[in-house]
């Protein structure tokens, strides 16, 4: 572990204490009616604090969505910090994240909707939670690829978690995120995929001089109520936002 990574790890743990205190005084006792909005606002503040630890410069282009469903590609756990630092959101995430040290606790506080990917019966309750969040006016982020990649391709989108927007009038937005790294390869050192292990990957990333995360947002007009057709259309819409396309 480099000196830079070691002191940044200490900084990370210090910030955990700061955002925990922030949660207690601003969010813990908020009424159920306003809880999701309060949690999204807390995550927004926490992400802006923690993203500095990674020396990550984040930027966005296009209209930043404020509510509805945001569909994006997925590259890394850094996606959470970049998107949440840009705007208040609620994420839908795999249940394994909940078991990660510290990170799992923070994501749970943020109101993340967790899904057990191996259980098809889990989709129904998760979609109910997504719909409830949409009804509360919160921006919900879904990564329909179902896993993170190295960014070389955009995987086919899975359709089950798109069910809540096949009906009703909730807006749908699309986003494409990519990273640049001054002293390394973003495909293997920022993107978290394949056989990477969380702690070594995170420590290596903490040792980097500067990361740049760039998010491009786009609007989307729903053309179909068919979930599988919607997944194909959204994938094409996200792909069009990729730099160079």
CA distance 46 to 110: 10
Q: Average pLDDT of each block of 10 consecutive residues along the chain (245 residues)?
A: 86 94 96 94 96 96 97 96 97 87 86 82 88 95 95 95 91 97 94 90 92 97 92 97 86
Q: Which CATH architecture has domain 3-239?
A: 3-Layer(aba) Sandwich (3.40)
Token pair of 12 as six digits: 């990370």
Task: Tell me which residue has tokens 């993340």.
Answer: 112
pLDDT of 168 reads 78
pLDDT of 15 reads 94
Instruction: Measure CA of the first residue to CA of the last residue in the chain; give whole Å.
Output: 39
CA distance 50 to 208: 15
Handedness of CA 224, 226, 227, 231 (dihedral sign): negative
pLDDT of 118 reads 67
Query: Rounded to 5 degrees, what are φ and ψ at 65?
Result: -70, 150
Token pair of 5 as six digits: 């990574």
């Amino acid at each position: 572990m480099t000196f830079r990574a070691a002191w940044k790890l200490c900084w990370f743990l210090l910030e955990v204490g700061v955002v925990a205190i922030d949660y207690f005084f601003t969010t813990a006792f908020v009424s159920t009616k306003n809880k999701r909005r309060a949690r999204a606002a807390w995550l927004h503040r926490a992400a802006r604090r923690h993203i500095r630890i990674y020396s990550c410069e984040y930027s966005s282009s296009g209209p930043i969505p404020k509510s509805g469903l945001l569909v994006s590609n997925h590259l890394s756990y850094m996606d959470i910090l970049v998107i949440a630092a840009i705007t208040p959101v609620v994420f839908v995430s795999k249940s394994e994240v909940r078991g990660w040290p510290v990170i799992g606790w923070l994501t749970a506080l943020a109101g993340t909707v967790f899904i057990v990917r191996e259980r098809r019966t889990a989709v129904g309750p998760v979609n109910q939670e997504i719909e409830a969040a949409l009804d509360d006016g919160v921006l919900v982020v879904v990564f329909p690829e179902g896993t993170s990649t190295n960014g070389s391709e955009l995987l086919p989108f899975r359709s089950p978690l798109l069910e809540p927007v096949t009906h009703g009038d909730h807006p749908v937005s699309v986003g494409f995120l990519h990273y640049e790294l001054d002293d390394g390869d973003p495909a293997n050192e920022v993107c978290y995929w394949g056989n990477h292990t969380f702690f070594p990957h995170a420590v290596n990333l903490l040792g980097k001089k500067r990361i740049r995360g760039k998010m491009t947002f786009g609007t989307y007009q729903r053309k179909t109520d068919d979930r599988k057709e919607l997944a194909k259309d959204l994938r094409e819409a996200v792909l069009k936002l990729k730099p160079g396309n």
